[in-house]
Amino acid sequence: MATAGRRRGPGDRGSVTAELALGLPAVVLALVVVLLVGSVAVAQVRCTDAARAAARAAALGEDTSAVVAIAADLAGEEAQVAVEESNGWVSVTVSRTISNGWLGGAGLTASAEFTLPVEPGET
């Protein structure tokens, strides 16, 4: 019994190679976009966690250098940290530029701000 298959004519030769050559750049581009979005999301979560932890430490009365060290530990050494206190509230802003090497993202910045009331100290 003969197998029921499609006979390939001389015009079909190399069509798989051509389809692969056209489709592969699209797959690579999609992979680069997914990796870039993932990197940006991780940087944003790190900044948010750093701002929250640093604001909590500042609200509990830690000095500014300790607050900056906590934020830098969580967000990365390249993070910029700003601590402001006014009217019984402390606000910490953490931001960092996103550097992904050959993936791009040169103009992207992750930033987060967290504000808490200053905890009353012991008298």
pTM: 0.74
pLDDT value for 9: 58
> Which range among 61-70, 71-80, 90-99, 102-111 shows the weakest confidence by mean pLDDT?
102-111
Instruction: State the average pLDDT for the chain.
Output: 85
Task: Decide if pLDDT at 57 tops 70.
Answer: yes
Mean pLDDT of 14-19: 76
Note the pLDDT tens digit of each residue in 22-35: 888 999 989 988 98
For residue 105, the model assigns a pLDDT of 55
Phi/psi region, residue 26 (left: phi>0; alpha: psi -120 to 50; beta: rest), is: alpha
